Amino acid sequence: MLNCDQLCTFFVDGQMFGVDVQRVQEVIRYQEMTEVPQAPDAVCGLINLRGQIVTAIDLRKRLGVPDRPKDVLPMNVVVRGDDGAISLLVDQIGDVQEIEEANFEPPPETLQGSARDMIQGAYKMEDHLLLILDTDRAMGVGES
């Protein structure tokens, strides 16, 4: 279970995900990136945030879902980790959601592969599931 009561939400391939608002540095529109030669597939490049160099990781690739259409630009959710900030590229930004711990459940059985390893659990919302992303695992592109 999480130690927070507010989640920053976003969407990837139609699924709603959330991360602890305390881990989120900022949410920004698409930024031009500098490619990194021989980087893992999920690393899209480096972005410059006011002098801070941040690695951009495509959550679609990390979660093993199809690539976003070429004409759709991702959004950046910049999260803080032990090794600094990383930008998670997502399809769409949601709202900050208040959560009730009583609604927390383990990861759904339907989640398979690398996606299952990156989900801490889920919250039942009124009309959908809110999947809780383990940002440390999502940031670990050399793993899985």
Residue 26 forms part of a structural domain: yes
pLDDT band at 48 (very low <50, low <70, confident <90, very high): very high
Average pLDDT over residues 135-143: 75
Residue 1 forms part of a structural domain: no
Q: Is the pTM of this model over 0.85?
A: yes
Domain CATH for 74:
2.40.50.180
State residue 3's pLDDT score: 55
Residue 107 forms part of a structural domain: yes
pLDDT band at 110 (very low <50, low <70, confident <90, very high): confident
State residue 144's pLDDT score: 41
State residue 141's pLDDT score: 59
Q: For residue 123, is pLDDT > 60? A: yes
Residue 119 forms part of a structural domain: yes
State residue 142's pLDDT score: 55
Residue 144 forms part of a structural domain: no
3-class secondary structure, 137: helix
Task: Name the DSSP letter for residue 69.
Answer: P
pLDDT tens by residue, 111-122: 777 778 899 999
Q: Which of 78, 41, 60 shows the shortest CA–CA distance to 115?
A: 60
Q: For residue 126, is pLDDT > 90? A: no
Question: Number of structural domains, the chain?
Answer: 1
| Cβ within 8 Å of residue 37, ≥6 positions away | none
pLDDT tens by residue, 58-75: 999 999 899 999 899 999
pLDDT band at 1 (very low <50, low <70, confident <90, very high): very low
Task: Name the DSSP letter for residue 5.
Answer: S
Domain that holds residue 126: 6-139
State residue 104's pLDDT score: 86
Burial (CB < 10 A; 0-12, 13-18, 19+), residue 93, is: middle
Q: Could you count the other beta carbons within 10 Å of the beta carbon of residue 66?
A: 8
